[in-house]
Structure 1
Amino acid sequence: MQRELIDGVPVLWAETPGPLEATLVFGCGVRDETFRTLGVTHLVEHLAMSTLPRLHFDHNASVDLALTQFTCTGRPEQVADFLERVCSALCALPLERIEREAGVLEAEGSGVADPTTAELLSIRYGTAGVGLASFGGPGPDRIPVEAVQDTVARFFHAQNAALVLTGAPPAGLRLPLPAGERPARATGQPVRQAGPAWQQAQVPGPGLALSCDLNDQAVFLAVQLLRQRLTEAVRHREGLTYDVGGDVVFVAPGRGERTICMEAREGQEQRVTELLWQEALRLATEEAPEAELAEEVEAAREVLLDPRAVEYELMEAAAELVLGDAPMRGRARLDLIEKLTPARLREAFAAALGSALLVVPCDIEVRPRRADGTELPQFSCGQGGELPTVGESSARP
Structure 2
Amino acid sequence: MIQHLDVDGVPTLLAATGGPMRAGLTFRVGTADETLVRSGITHLIEHLALAPLGLADYHVNGATAQAFTTFHTQGSEADIAAFLTAVCGNLSDLPVARLDVEKEILRTEWSSRGAAAVDSIPLWRHGARDYGLISYPEWGLGALTADDLREWTARWFTRENAVLWIAGDRVPAELRLALPAGTRQPAPTASSALPQTPAYFVSGSRAIVLDSVVRRRAAASVFSAVLERELYRSLRQEAGLSYTTTTGYEPRGDGYAMLRALADALPEKQDAVLGGFIDVLAKMRVGRIEQADLDATIAKREDFLGIAEVDAARLPSYALNVLTGEPNLSVDEHRAELKAVDLADLHEVAGEMIASALLMVPGGLTADWAGFAAAPTHSAEILQGTTYSSKEGNAALRVGVDGVTLLQTGDPLTVRYDDCAAMLVWPDGARQLIGSDAIALHVEPTLFNLHPGAIPAIDAKVPGDRQIPMPARAPDAIPQPQAPVRQPTASATSTWWELPAMVLSGMGVLVVGALSVLLTLAMLLTETKPGEEPLWGGVVVLWLLTVILTLPIVKLRRRRRSR
TM-score in terms of structure 1 length: 0.89
The equivalent of 2:214 in structure 1 is 212
TM-aligned CA deviation for residue 234 of structure 1: 2.4
Whether the aligned pair in 2 keeps the contact of 1:76 and 1:170 (CA below 8 Å) is yes
1:44–1:212 distance in 2 versus 1, CA, 3 Å: same
In 2, the alpha carbon distance for the partners of 1:96 and 1:350 equals 53
The equivalent of 1:174 in structure 2 is 176
Q: What are the Cα deviations for residues 224-247 of structure 1, in whole angstroms up to 9, with x where unaligned?
A: 111111112223334443322343
Whichever residue aligns with residue 207 of structure 2, its letter is: G
Whether the aligned pair in 2 keeps the contact of 1:301 and 1:334 (CA below 8 Å) is yes
The equivalent of 1:297 in structure 2 is 298
The equivalent of 1:85 in structure 2 is 86
Q: What are the Cα deviations for residues 205-256 of structure 1, in whole angstroms up to 9, with x where unaligned?
A: 11111211122x2222222111111112223334443322343344442013
The equivalent of 1:230 in structure 2 is 231
1:137–1:176 distance in 2 versus 1, CA, 3 Å: closer
Q: State the identity %.
A: 25
Query: Does 2:161 match 1:165?
Result: no
Q: What are the Cα deviations for residues 37-91 of structure 1, in whole angstroms up to 9, with x where unaligned?
A: 2221111111111111432111111111111111111111111111111110111
Whether the aligned pair in 2 keeps the contact of 1:9 and 1:163 (CA below 8 Å) is yes
1:148–1:238 distance in 2 versus 1, CA, 3 Å: farther
Greater shift in the superposed pair: 323-332 or 286-295: 323-332
1:111–1:346 distance in 2 versus 1, CA, 3 Å: farther
- Which structure 1 segments of 5+ residues have no match? none
The equivalent of 2:44 in structure 1 is 43
The equivalent of 1:191 in structure 2 is 193
Whether the aligned pair in 1 keeps the contact of 2:40 and 2:139 (CA below 8 Å) is no
Whether the aligned pair in 2 keeps the contact of 1:270 and 1:364 (CA below 8 Å) is no
Query: Does 2:367 match 1:367?
Result: yes
Query: Does 2:226 match 1:261?
Result: no
**Partner secondary structure for residue 62 of structure 2:** strand
In 1, the alpha carbon distance for the partners of 2:49 and 2:82 equals 14
The equivalent of 2:442 in structure 1 is none
1:331–1:126 distance in 2 versus 1, CA, 3 Å: farther
- Which structure 2 segments of 5+ residues have no match? 386-399, 403-449, 452-563
**How many residue pairs are counted as aligned between the two chains?**
388
The equivalent of 2:157 in structure 1 is 156
The equivalent of 1:282 in structure 2 is 283
TM-aligned CA deviation for residue 291 of structure 1: 2.5
TM-aligned CA deviation for residue 366 of structure 1: 3.1
The equivalent of 2:203 in structure 1 is 201
Whether the aligned pair in 1 keeps the contact of 2:12 and 2:165 (CA below 8 Å) is yes
Greater shift in the superposed pair: 283-292 or 154-163: 283-292
Greater shift in the superposed pair: 242-251 or 199-208: 242-251
In 2, the alpha carbon distance for the partners of 1:346 and 1:92 equals 52
User: Residue 374 of structure 2: which of 373, 378, 395 is its match?
Assistant: 378
TM-aligned CA deviation for residue 354 of structure 1: 1.1
In 1, the alpha carbon distance for the partners of 2:114 and 2:327 equals 22
Whether the aligned pair in 2 keeps the contact of 1:25 and 1:70 (CA below 8 Å) is yes
**Partner secondary structure for residue 359 of structure 2:** strand
Whether the aligned pair in 1 keeps the contact of 2:241 and 2:269 (CA below 8 Å) is yes
Whether the aligned pair in 2 keeps the contact of 1:24 and 1:71 (CA below 8 Å) is yes
The equivalent of 1:338 in structure 2 is 339
Task: Find the structure with the greater CA-based Rg.
Answer: 2
Whether the aligned pair in 2 keeps the contact of 1:112 and 1:133 (CA below 8 Å) is no
Whether the aligned pair in 2 keeps the contact of 1:229 and 1:279 (CA below 8 Å) is yes
1:111–1:296 distance in 2 versus 1, CA, 3 Å: farther
TM-aligned CA deviation for residue 11 of structure 1: 0.9
Q: What are the Cα deviations for residues 169-212 of structure 1, in whole angstroms up to 9, with x where unaligned?
A: 01232111111122355411323135112111243411111211
1:185–1:98 distance in 2 versus 1, CA, 3 Å: same
In 2, the alpha carbon distance for the partners of 1:56 and 1:195 equals 50
1:348–1:12 distance in 2 versus 1, CA, 3 Å: same
In 1, the alpha carbon distance for the partners of 2:148 and 2:118 equals 27
Greater shift in the superposed pair: 95-104 or 302-311: 302-311
1:191–1:251 distance in 2 versus 1, CA, 3 Å: farther
In 2, the alpha carbon distance for the partners of 1:111 and 1:250 equals 28
Greater shift in the superposed pair: 257-266 or 235-244: 235-244
Structure ranking higher on relative contact order (CA contacts 8 Å, 6+ apart)? 1
**Partner secondary structure for residue 29 of structure 2:** coil
**Partner secondary structure for residue 50 of structure 1:** helix
**Partner secondary structure for residue 12 of structure 1:** strand
